[in-house]
Amino acid sequence: MTEVAQHPTAAPVTAPVTAPAAPPRARHRRGRRLGWLVPVLILAGGTAWWLTRPAAPVTYVTAAADRGAVTSTISATGTVNPVVTVTVGSYVSGVIAQVLCDFNDTVTQGQVCARIDDRTFRTTVAQAQSDLDLARAQLAKDQAGLDYAQANYDRNLQMVKTSTVSQDAVDLAKSSFQQAQAQLQVDQATIEQKQAALDAANINLDYTQIKSPVAGTVILRNVTAGQTVASSLTTPTLFLIAQDLTQMQVDVNVSESDIGQVKAGEDASFSVNAYPARVFTGKVKEVRQSPQSVQNVITYDVVVAVANADLALRPGMTASAKIVVDQRADVLRVPSKALRYQPSTVVAGTTGRPAGTGQGTAASTEASPGTRGRLWVLRDGKPVPVFVHSGLDDGTNTEILSGKLAAGDAVILGESSASRSGGSSGGSARGSALRFRP
């Protein structure tokens, strides 16, 4: 029996079914969506890293609260002037014959500094003397006439008793006597007039010698030999003499907003451009009431007296002055910028307190004297807010009236932090910078 071997039937081979190919435009849209997705994912990852990165280390700029003086001053400008300045002029007109004093000369009281040609004045004196002599001679003549008239009148009075002369003769003698008396009075008045004219002529002659009325230093000479001076309208200024340059004054222009704080006896200091490193000291001598208006700005003149033994100060120098209007001694104080410090956002977050703008900049309003303010004190390496009442502020230091602050506490003035650069500027995120936040 023949066995026929049966082989297993092979499975039919089926051709794979292939999906229809996408059109080219659809493939392009899918690739463009993938191209936008990659930058978005990168940006999201970068943002997450930026927000969760460790905070940059912050270094605080601090200063120790201490005890000391706080001095409040007001600033103003002024001019250095001699205490007494005398203008020397001429009372008479004429030609300058000699100039005997010059700039910077030291003169004594009564010293002749210039002479005017006096020939005309001497002639006037001689004429006045002659007129006086003539008046005196006339007086002597009329005195003799008076004596004669009196004798004649007396004689007629005796003779009329014996009827030797008539009454008319007596009356005539009396009239002559009275006229002689009147003439003598006229002569005496004329003599006084001529004497006054002579005195005036001598005074004018003396005025031809220009003399210093005070002892001092000549700071201005405004005349030369041969110059004609005319005093008919105003007295011409020939010399300017400072009585004592070892004592000077500074005429300071103080604004009307500050003048109420200035009083006589207050200390003052100032500097001049000639000696920028030197500070001169003085005291307020006078606060003048007269206002000065320049372009509708009102100021008042405050006179500061200052010693000038070495003659370093000269008339006309411009002074930058500070007048002490209030001061405190041995008080608790902090640098004024400590009251203006505001912590950055990172620093504020560590303290658990709000920090305003978070930019580490100055507050919008500063603590005014006598009002409440806030300091940040570094304690155990962390900033801690301390509320205080501030007092006098001199622009550098501020008095602390009350608050939980003691001498030696480290008050924060600002921050010096290593920060990542870039950000809004678009720079590299790997860079570093040192920033100071007041």
**How would you write the pLDDT of the chain (438 residues) with one tens digit per residue?**
333 334 444 444 444 444 455 555 555 555 555 566 667 777 777 777 666 666 566 788 999 999 999 999 999 999 999 999 999 999 999 999 999 999 999 999 999 999 999 999 999 999 999 999 999 999 898 888 888 888 887 887 778 777 777 787 878 888 888 888 898 899 899 999 999 999 999 999 999 999 999 999 999 999 999 999 988 767 788 999 999 999 999 999 999 999 999 999 999 999 999 999 999 999 999 999 999 999 999 999 999 999 999 999 999 999 999 999 999 999 999 999 999 998 875 555 444 444 333 334 444 344 445 678 899 999 988 899 999 999 998 889 999 999 999 999 999 999 875 543 443 333 333 333 334 445
Exposure string (b/e) for 361-399, b if CB count within 10 Å is 16 or more? eeeeeebeeeeebbbbbeeeeebeebebebbbbbeebbb
pLDDT for 13 equals 44
CA-CA-CA-CA dihedral for 44, 49, 51, 55, to nearest 10? -170
Residue in this structure with the two tokens 């300058």, named with its chain if needed: 96
pLDDT at 54: 62
Nearest 5 degrees, angle CA 267-CA 269-CA 274?
A: 160
Instruction: Please state at what angle helix 119-161 crosses helix 167-207, rounded to 10 degrees.
Output: 160
Fold of 126-207: Helix Hairpins (1.10.287)
Tell me the three state secondary structure of residue 227.
Answer: coil
Q: What is the pLDDT of residue 49?
A: 65
The pLDDT, as a whole number, for residue 417 is 59
d(CA 305, CA 283): 6
Cβ–Cβ < 8 Å for 54, 345: no
pLDDT of residue 24: 55
The domain limits of the chain are: 58-71+331-437, 74-83+245-327, 85-117+210-243, 126-207
Distance separating alpha carbons of residues 218 and 342, to the nearest angstrom: 60
- As a whole number of angstroms, the distance between CA 123 and CA 134 comes to 17
Whole-model pTM: value is 0.64
Query: What local confidence, expressed as pLDDT, does residue 43 receive?
Result: 78
**CATH code of the domain occupying 74-83+245-327:** 2.40.30.170
**What does the pLDDT read at residue 29?**
56
Q: Please say whether the structural domain 85-117+210-243 has been given the CATH code 3.50.40.10.
A: no
**Gap between the Cα atoms of 250 and 317, Å rounded:** 9
85-117+210-243 and 126-207: identical CATH topology: no
pLDDT at 435: 41
